[in-house]
């Protein structure tokens, strides 16, 4: 088995990280619009509103909203067969709870999809990529509130109907498992803890509501167009036991449990024994209402999309408390201390496919690095090429030797965009350089990096030629 002839090669982005135009076309605020940038390695400061005099990277981002034609032309030049993007939920429903959508927002995505189609590029659309309308957080407490299930379904039905013949591949929530893995799931669920709240209980509650919302979206999508393929999306944290001490091996398994908690429910349609064990470990209670079980069963996803950036190691002295580290002595690390581990991608593909036998889709992978523009205007990003080549080779082995079923591969940030973690601009992933700095200054001019031609060659050879 080799990569199929229609293997989906391309790049992946999220609206809040590239569109900008944060109040244009009738758009409302999203949770990303109150997140400040950018300090190297420091998590972003979050406000409950836009504060005067502060810099918010999402407000202009790289101005894809106005420059999408040029950007898509460059993607086409690289031979993209697909482009992963998200619909900015508050462009369609500015507050999130309206009865009627915002026509200007819908028209914008019509234009983007039409432009992609001109070049034969298949859109891959994330319905919620860290863009929950801020109003829903302020007025309803975000995903703690079951009302969001209905609002999300209305939003999904609206875009499914509108783009019925323009988009085939969808995914519901970006990196949904980070809801449990993050100390506070702001990006995923719009949640910041209130005083006295039990974090584990909140995580279980918001996850349940998001599962129900995802299931409703899947059912609605299949009803509107049976050809739709709707996936879940998770961050896959390949984890190794630190040693062959059985306690470390057990620690590795326990460390993976919160991740399979998500895929088990979304792919198998119910809370499995593993999920129940995880609830027990968290000391949290799951409250199911009438009809929830049937809904989860009916709303199973068609495929599993995931991001993969690095692997970690787990250990435990008592078999209960788990220590997770990134300092694997066998691996080099990037400028942000993320270990570089292509084999971890092959392992991820094997583990997920073994567990669910559903088609997989690598929808994020890449190297965030500090690029330098040389005096002659070139950008020699050989380190990025080396990273991607090694990961693509590992991916091919998973398909060709391990017989994993894989739909495609989209690199994260094919054009430089805002970093989610730190809000930095200088954490660059792209094949296309964007002239903008961490303070928001720059001409926004686009320049091809050395990796641009390399990726074009990889796609043209359907992954056969990754040489450099």
Segment (H or E) for 160: helix 147-162
428 forms beta bridges with 369
Residue 390, token pair as written in the block: 């090694």
Q: For residues 175 and 292, which CB has a smaller minimum distance to ligand BGP in the complex?
A: 175
By CB under 6 A, residue 427 contacts ligand BGP: yes
412 forms beta bridges with 12
Q: For residues 194 and 332, which CB has a smaller minimum distance to ligand BGP in the complex?
A: 332
By CB under 6 A, residue 175 contacts ligand BGP: yes
By CB under 6 A, residue 142 contacts ligand BGP: no
Residue 9, token pair as written in the block: 């090669």
Pick the binder of ligand BGP from 368, 408, 430, 463 (CB under 6 A).
368
Q: For residues 217 and 411, which CB has a smaller minimum distance to ligand BGP in the complex?
A: 411
324 forms beta bridges with 314
Active site residue 175: yes
Q: For residues 122 and 364, which CB has a smaller minimum distance to ligand BGP in the complex?
A: 364
By CB under 6 A, residue 419 contacts ligand BGP: yes
Residue of this chain nearest to ligand BGP (CB atom): 421
Can you tell me the distance from the alpha carbon of 423 to that of 37, in angstroms, rounded to the nearest whole number? 4
By CB under 6 A, residue 412 contacts ligand BGP: yes
Phi, psi of 36 (to 5 degrees): -80, 160
Can you tell me the distance from the alpha carbon of 94 to that of 111, in angstroms, rounded to the nearest whole number? 19
Given 115, 178, 364, 424, which residue is catalytic?
364
Active site residue 35: no
Q: For residues 126 and 316, which CB has a smaller minimum distance to ligand BGP in the complex?
A: 126
Pick the binder of ligand BGP from 132, 207, 214, 307 (CB under 6 A).
307
**Cβ(85)–Cβ(40) under 8 Å?**
no
Nearest to 366 by CA among 421, 409, 396: 409
By CB under 6 A, residue 14 contacts ligand BGP: yes
By CB under 6 A, residue 446 contacts ligand BGP: no
User: From the CB of 128, what's the least distance to ligand BGP, in Å?
Assistant: 11
Can you tell me the distance from the alpha carbon of 126 to that of 250, in angstroms, rounded to the nearest whole number? 34
Can you tell me the distance from the alpha carbon of 129 to that of 278, in angstroms, rounded to the nearest whole number? 25
Residue 408, token pair as written in the block: 């495609």
User: From the CB of 236, what's the least distance to ligand BGP, in Å?
Assistant: 11
- Positions that interact with ligand BGP (CB under 6 A): 14, 174-175, 235, 307, 364, 368, 412, 419-421, 427
């Amino acid at each position: 088995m080799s990569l199929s002839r229609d293997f989906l090669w391309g790049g992946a982005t999220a609206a809040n990280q590239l569109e900008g135009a944060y109040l244009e076309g009738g758009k409302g605020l999203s949770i990303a619009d109150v997140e400040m940038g950018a300090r190297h390695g420091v998590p972003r400061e979050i406000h409950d509103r836009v504060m005067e005099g502060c810099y918010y990277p999402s407000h202009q981002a790289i101005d894809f909203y106005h420059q999408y034609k040029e950007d898509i032309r460059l993607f086409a030049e690289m031979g993209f067969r697909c482009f992963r993007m998200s619909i900015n939920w508050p462009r369609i429903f500015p507050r999130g709870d309206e009865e009627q959508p915002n026509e200007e927002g819908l028209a914008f995505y019509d234009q983007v999809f039409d432009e992609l189609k001109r070049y034969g590029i298949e859109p891959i659309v994330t319905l919620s990529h860290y863009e929950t309308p801020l109003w829903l957080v302020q007025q309803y407490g975000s995903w703690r509130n079951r009302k969001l299930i209905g609002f999300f379904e209305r939003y999904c039905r609206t875009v499914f109907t509108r783009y019925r013949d323009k988009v085939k591949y969808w995914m519901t929530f970006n990196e949904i498992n980070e809801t449990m893995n993050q100390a506070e799931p702001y990006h995923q669920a719009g949640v910041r803890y209130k005083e006295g709240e039990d974090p584990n209980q909140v995580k279980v509650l918001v996850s349940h509501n998001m599962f129900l919302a995802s299931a409703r979206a899947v059912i609605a999508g299949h009803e509107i167009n049976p050809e739709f393929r709707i996936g879940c999306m998770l961050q896959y944290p390949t984890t190794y036991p630190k040693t062959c001490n059985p306690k470390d091996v057990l620690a590795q398994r326990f460390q993976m449990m919160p991740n399979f908690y998500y895929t088990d429910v979304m792919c198998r349609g119910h809370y499995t024994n593993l999920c129940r064990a995880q609830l027990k470990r968290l000391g949290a209670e799951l409250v199911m209402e009438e009809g929830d079980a049937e809904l989860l069963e009916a709303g199973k996803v068609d495929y599993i999309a995931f991001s993969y950036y690095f692997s970690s190691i787990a250990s435990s002295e008592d078999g209960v408390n788990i220590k997770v580290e990134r300092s694997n002595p066998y691996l080099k690390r990037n400028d942000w201390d993320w270990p570089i581990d292509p084999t971890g991608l092959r392992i991820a593909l094997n583990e997920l496919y073994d567990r669910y036998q559903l088609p997989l889709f690598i929808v994020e992978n890449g190297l965030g690095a500090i690029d330098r523009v040389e005096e002659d205007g070139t950008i020699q990003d050989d380190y990025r090429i080396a990273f991607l080549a090694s990961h693509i080779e590992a991916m091919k082995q998973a398909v060709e030797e391990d017989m994993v079923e894989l739909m495609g591969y989209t690199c994260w940030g094919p054009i430089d965009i805002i970093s989610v973690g730190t809000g930095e601009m200088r954490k660059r992933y792209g094949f296309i350089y964007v002239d903008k700095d961490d303070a928001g200054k720059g001409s926004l001019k686009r320049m091809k990096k050395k990796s641009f031609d390399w990726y074009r060659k990889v796609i043209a050879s359907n992954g056969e030629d990754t040489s450099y």
